[in-house]
Amino acid sequence: MKNWYLFFLTAFLPLVSFGQGEYYSNDSLTSVGINLIDGGDVANAKFCRVKDGDSIFTFTPYEVDEYGFNKGPVYIAKDIQVAGSRKRVFLERLYQGETTLYYYQSENLKTFFVEKDSTLFTEVPKQNKDGLSYSEKLLTLTNDCPNVSEACKLVRYSKNSLSKLIARYNKCELKPFPHFKYGLLVGYEFTKLVPVPDNKSINYFDYDFDGGYTLGIFIDNPILVSNFSFHAEMTFSQHGFSYHYQHDNSDMDLVANIASFKIPLLIRYTAPTNKIRPFVNIGGITTINTKNKCLLYESTIDEHTIEINDTKSVSLIHKVQAGYAAGGGIEYKLDIRHSITFEIRYHHQYGFQDSKSLQMSGINLITGISF
């Protein structure tokens, strides 16, 4: 019975512990629960370093077959060709499956390797000596799955992006591949001034919307190659507001002309459908009012005579305003890189300095085209 117990500890305990802590292994030994030293991509490709008390032990790829950090990268010893010569290094395993992706970095080289069905092991450099790009190389390696052909043309030469591609290839998934976009915006904006309770002297106006066109540019960058993206815009619009209030024989008029640059910084989620993709976004918005003229008129009407008692320029709208924006719409795919978006968005902005200043809110109808 005692022999069976010792056999269990010897044979299975390393397997149970494997993955629960840092480890290294070779043909004859697996050491778990150790303290590995992370020296960065370049150093990790050369050595496996273990700290034991005040001592540091260094192992080469000829001594250790594999080592891994707790909830971190795993490194596999492989023979590769570097500058025309063969050498053994540690490759970082980025994705493991029927097709596995590795990454290697030295002082002057960053490259990836693909291992397919344990029979093919090939480098995927950013560009071959014959001018073949990594996208073209990936198209050749994945030609048995047409579902990822577009993804091969959009993938970036980075760990996250290539890992996402290989994961899609292993499942042969037909999904839109997250990629960087930029483009133009055009729309129509309904904006109104919003009074605050603290400023009762101008609260009697009936504030309504003014419509105007808006034009701008945008970028949309995926976050960690996911369906979430950072979406930033800069748009320009102009508005003219005229409000009137009459009480007995007294008239009040407020006239404002504004030209604004708006900068929304949003987080967008886009559903992973293929042709028509619904999306929602939310975030902050900053407005810079480059033109900001406000006039307040006060007049009296007496026996058919209008007398203007006071005309003054007032600072009711701050030059810089900030607030929030939220909206949603659909993205319609035209081809691999071009798409059209249609969105409805609400925004509300506040003045920075004075709590009695007028706020602004509005609804935007936006059309965008990406390149």
pLDDT digits (tens, 9 = 90+) for 39-87: 999 999 999 999 999 999 999 999 999 999 998 899 999 999 887 889 9
The pLDDT of residue 10: 43
Last residue of one domain, picked from the residues 138, 155, 177: 177
Considering the domain boundaries, does residue 113 fall inside one?
A: no
The edge-to-edge listing of strands for the beta sheet with 85-95 is 30-34, 22-25, 66-68, 74-82, 85-95, 99-105, 110-116, 120-124
Strand-strand pairing, 85-95 and 74-82:
antiparallel
Residue type, 292: N
- Whether the per-residue pLDDT at 117 is higher than 80: the answer is yes
The answer to whether residues 58 and 146 belong to one domain is: no
The answer to whether residues 185 and 173 belong to one domain is: no
The answer to whether residues 257 and 216 belong to one domain is: yes
The answer to whether residues 188 and 250 belong to one domain is: yes
- Whether the per-residue pLDDT at 18 is higher than 50: the answer is no
Written as six digits, the tokens of 157 are 């030469």
**pLDDT average, residue stretch 249-259:** 84
- Whether the per-residue pLDDT at 135 is higher than 90: the answer is yes
The answer to whether residues 164 and 185 belong to one domain is: no
Name 169's Cβ contacts closer than 8 Å, sequence gap at least 6: 99, 142, 145, 148
Domain with 277 in it: 181-370
Tally the domains of the chain.
Answer: 3
Given its phi and psi angles, is residue 228 left (phi above 0), alpha (psi -120 to 50 degrees) or beta?
Answer: beta
How far apart (Å, rounded) are the C-alpha atoms in residues 275 and 332? 6
Backbone angles phi, psi at 7, to 5 degrees: -65, -40
Task: With H, G, I as helix, E, B as strand and everything else as coil, classify residue 228.
Answer: strand
SS3 assignment for 30-84:
EEEEECECCCHHHHHHHCEEEEECCEEEEECCCCCCEEECCCCCEEEEEEEEECC
Higher-confidence position of 227 and 313: 227
For residue 304, name the pLDDT band (cuts at 50, 70, 90): low
How far apart (Å, rounded) are the C-alpha atoms in residues 81 and 87? 6
Considering the domain boundaries, does residue 312 fall inside one?
A: yes
Question: On the CB side of 251, how many CA atoms lie within 13 Å of its CA?
Answer: 15
Q: Which residues of 268-290 are buried (b: 16+ CB within 10 A; e: fewer)?
A: bbbeeeeeebebebebebebebe
How far apart (Å, rounded) are the C-alpha atoms in residues 191 and 212? 8
The pLDDT of residue 196: 77
Query: Which among 159, 25, 171 is positioned nearest to 93, based on CA atoms?
Result: 159
- Whether the per-residue pLDDT at 254 is higher than 90: the answer is no
Mean pLDDT, all residues of the chain: 89
Query: Which among 310, 321, 323, 324 is positioned nearest to 357, based on CA atoms?
Result: 321
Work out the angle at residue 170's Cα, subtended by the Cα atoms of residues 168 and 175, and round it to the nearest 5 degrees.
25
The pLDDT of residue 255: 87
The pLDDT of residue 204: 75
The answer to whether residues 129 and 240 belong to one domain is: no
The answer to whether residues 87 and 136 belong to one domain is: no
The answer to whether residues 342 and 219 belong to one domain is: yes
For residue 4, name the pLDDT band (cuts at 50, 70, 90): very low
How far apart (Å, rounded) are the C-alpha atoms in residues 240 and 294? 10
The answer to whether residues 281 and 338 belong to one domain is: yes
- Whether the per-residue pLDDT at 6 is higher than 50: the answer is no
**pLDDT average, residue stretch 158-165:** 97
Considering the domain boundaries, does residue 151 fall inside one?
A: yes
**pLDDT average, residue stretch 318-329:** 95
